[in-house]
Amino acid sequence: MAAVPSPNPPVSTNPPSISHPFQPRTTFRPRFTLPVASNPQKRHRLHISNVLSDSKPTTASTTTRSPLPAEPFVSRYAPDQPRKGSDVLVEALEREGVTDVFAYPGGASMEIHQALTRSKTIRNVLPRHEQGGVFAAEGYARASGLPGVCIATSGPGATNLVSGLADALLDSVPIVAITGQVPRRMIGTDAFQETPIVEVTRSITKHNYLVLDVEDIPRVVREAFYLASSGRPGPVLIDVPKDIQQQLVVPKWDEPMRLSGYLSRSPKPPNEAHLEQIIRLITESKRPVLYTGGGCLDSSVELRRFVELTGIPVASTLMGLGAYPASDDLSLQMLGMHGTVYANYAVDKSDLLLAFGVRFDDRVTGKLEAFASRAKIVHIDIDSAEIGKNKQPHVSICGDIKIALQGLNRILEQKSEMNNLDFSSWRKELDEQKSTHPLSFKTFGDAIPPQYAIQVLDELTGGNAIISTGVGQHQMWAAQFYKYNRPRQWLTSGGLGAMGFGLPAAIGAAVAKPDAIVVDIDGDGSFMMNVQELATIRVENLPVKILLLNNQHLGMVVQWEDRFYKANRAHTYLGNPEKESEIFPNMLKFAEACDIPAARVTKIGDLRAAIQKMLDTPGPYLLDVIVPHQEHVLPMIPAGGGFMDVITDGDGRIKY
């Protein structure tokens, strides 16, 4: 049965190449392209509304085919052998190269789990909560660049995926979520554990399906993976009624995809004249700055070459950390609300802002009219909805940043006069700002500054660890004080700011990258929200290290209370009010309950040895680092403020 095309016009993406070989999931799968276009940028989402799988193909539909496998797929079934819809679904995942899923069973998804037990190639990492499963799928996708897969049952199982789907949409993360649903005849009757998850997730998925014909499963799964990973990546949900899972069918694996509306809006290669115009603006500029975001994660090589050719300094968004090496002299590190003074200074004083793969988020811009107010703005983004949405550019290109950078680099290499670009005086001015306003922190006796804990972790891991975080002060300190020199080693919930993200995301990263050092830098508030996933880590024996910065408070909210609410505490203390001198809850007991080694450190002099022991201990480990709750994340530009409003001093020990 055909999928009814979405009534809402989708935004751009790149279509698949018929001839592109299938790559095994253990390696990075090349993104799909047309002969006229290059690899789509792994960032921006496309919005198309929800569709029902219907038996009548539309006459307007055109067809495209998914990549052909390098080697023929060997099914465990004979070609004409009937099998359950659930087995078709699992085999469809196998054909997409899936080797790991994060699935929690229930009544409406039991058939899928039974089929998973018959798969010889797919491993299920069993989360202890569906939210843990979807965040783990996100961690897998963020660390590997491949779509993560999570599976849940109907009703509460499906609704427990909502935060993860919203998070993946806002941060442009490719995941495929599969949910069981009540049988077709019971849909709409308020049956046990029935929720209309297609409707619930309408605005927080890139696309979703309710499968009403078992014969549609192969095509729907192929489309879901293509949609999730092409153009601006995002989450796709497939809702499968239980009777569809149980129905016998002989699948048709060569059914073509029907994505005519989506493909018709694919971005074109950038116009050469536009690229020349950008080069001209660069030559005319005296104080240019690169403002790079998550859209550049898969264009790191091209970005580094562009900076090498131009000498333009680079400021990164929270989502873009690692696209350009933070330890490089031309890196200004992070800009925005808690960005470095020198990154925000550079943007404020710039006369040319090259905004690549970004969306001018409010936590970056602050007061929009004051942001880069002296600069001409060049905006390159694959999502046309982002061009001019918040800040009107002088020159814009809607397209893949990788192709655009390749084009810009080619022009720069061909034009001999480009060798005369000289921004040394501008860089010297910024170097002075780096010297005058470095990232710093204070120490108080034996107390452990949380910033110092992250700095020591950076030193002891050589900056090579994959870092996940929860949300709050610890997240911002992890962005500031750990130096990310390559893409996909920084996993955090940026747009949604979902507490509880760090631990399950680390699980996904450890599954995707089993040989990597994976550290969850977490806060006690965020950690508690998905603490049950310690059981998953232990049972799967995943070498996830947890650096828990424990201040007994909701630190970021406390910081705002200190600054803007006269330090009035409004339910932000997480300890036991009757025993304030004790650490509560005892995080070491959680670790002990799950048979995970753990230790607590309270003095700065003991910290380095404690972190080294955590890293040296095989398997998982929890280190409970007790830090002062009075620490503030600085610099800070208050919400709605501009660079001139930046706060660089003070903490909770001072009254405001």
> pTM of the entire structure?
0.89
**pLDDT at position 48:** 38
pLDDT of residue 77: 95
- Compute the distance between CA of residue 157 and CA of residue 109 in angstroms, rounded to an integer: 10
Cα separation, 428 vs 329, whole angstroms: 11
Q: Say how many CA atoms lie within 13 Å of 654 toward its Cβ.
A: 8
Q: List, as own/partner pairs, every contact residues 181-185 make where C-beta atoms lie below 8 angstroms and the sequence separation is at least 24, other chains included.
A: 181/108, 181/154, 181/210, 181/239, 181/240, 181/241, 181/242, 182/108, 182/154, 182/241, 182/242, 183/241, 183/242, 183/243, 184/212, 184/241, 184/243, 184/244, 185/243
Percent of the chain with pLDDT over 70: 89
pLDDT at 55 over 50: no
Q: Are the C-beta atoms of residues 133 and 127 closer than 8 Å to each other?
A: yes
Q: Which of 42, 84, 206, 242 is catalytic?
A: 242
According to DSSP H, which parts of 174-216 are helical? Answer: 197-200
DSSP string, 433-472: HHHHS-------TT---HHHHHHHHHHHHTT-SEEEE-SS
Residue with tokens 């050469």: 272
Q: What per-residue confidence (pLDDT) applies to 70?
A: 64
Please give the biggest Cα pair distance in the chain.
76
pLDDT at 531 over 80: yes
The CB density around residue 575, as the number of other CB atoms within 10 Å, is 18
Give the pLDDT score at 419: 75
Residue 47 has pLDDT above 80, yes or no: no
> In angstroms, rounded to a whole number, what is the distance separating the alpha carbons of residues 405 and 36?
16
Question: In which band, very low, low, confident or very high, does the pLDDT at 500 lie, cut at 50, 70 and 90?
Answer: very high
What pLDDT, on a 0 to 100 scale, did the predictor assign at position 418?
75
- Name every residue whose Cβ is closer than 8 Å to that of residue 122 and which is 6 or more positions away in sequence: 90, 93, 94, 98, 99, 100, 101, 116
Q: Decide if 561 is catalytic.
A: no
Helix H or strand E segment including 124: strand 123-124
Q: How confident is the model at residue 38 (pLDDT cuts 50, 70, 90)?
A: very low
Q: How far apart are CA 465 and CA 478, in angstroms?
A: 12
How far apart are alpha carbons 223 and 219 in whole angstroms?
Answer: 6
Q: How far apart are CA 624 and CA 607, in angstroms?
A: 10
User: What's 6's DSSP letter?
Assistant: P
* Of 647, 618, 650, the residue nearest 632 (C-alpha): 650
pLDDT grade, residue 57 (50/70/90)?
Answer: very low
Nearest to 356 by CA among 395, 311, 414, 308: 395
Q: Is the pLDDT of residue 53 over 80?
A: no
pLDDT in tens, 407-452: 999 999 998 777 789 999 999 999 999 999 999 999 999 999 999 9
Please check the confidence at residue 60 and state whether its pLDDT lies above 70. no
Residue 567's Cβ-count burial label (10 Å; 0-12, 13-18, 19+) is middle
Find out whether 148 and 136 touch, Cβ atoms under 8 Å.
Answer: yes
Q: Residues of 518-532 as b/e, b for ≥16 C-beta within 10 angstroms?
A: bbbbbbbbbbbbbbb
The predicted-structure confidence for 227-286, as pLDDT tens digits, reads as follows 999 999 999 999 999 999 999 999 999 999 999 999 999 888 999 999 999 999 999 999
Q: Is the pLDDT of residue 104 over 60?
A: yes
Closest CA to 269 of 36, 44, 45: 36
Active site residue 590: no
- The catalytically annotated residue of 130, 138, 302, 631 is 130
Of these residues, 23, 114, 193, 532, which one is catalytic?
193
C-alpha to C-alpha distance for 394 and 648, rounded to whole angstroms? 32
Mean pLDDT of the chain: 90
pLDDT digits 0-9 by tens, 444-478: 999 999 999 999 999 999 999 999 999 999 999 99
Of the candidates 28, 73, 192, 564, the residue annotated as catalytic is 192
Nearest-angstrom CA–CA distance, 224 and 241: 17
Catalytic site residue 130?
A: yes
Average pLDDT over residues 467-490: 98
Segment 23-44 mean pLDDT: 34
Q: pLDDT tens digits, residue range 364-412?
A: 999 999 999 999 999 999 999 999 999 999 999 999 999 999 999 999 9
The whole-number pLDDT of residue 49 equals 39
Across the chain, how many H-helices and E-strands are there?
23, 21
* CA–CA dist 605, 619 (Å, integer): 25
Over residues 168-194, the pLDDT tens digits come to: 999 999 999 999 999 999 999 999 999
Catalytic: which of 556, 587, 614, 636?
Answer: 556
pLDDT at 5: 37
Active site residue 337: no
192 is catalytic: yes
Confidence at residue 656, expressed as pLDDT on a 0 to 100 scale: 83
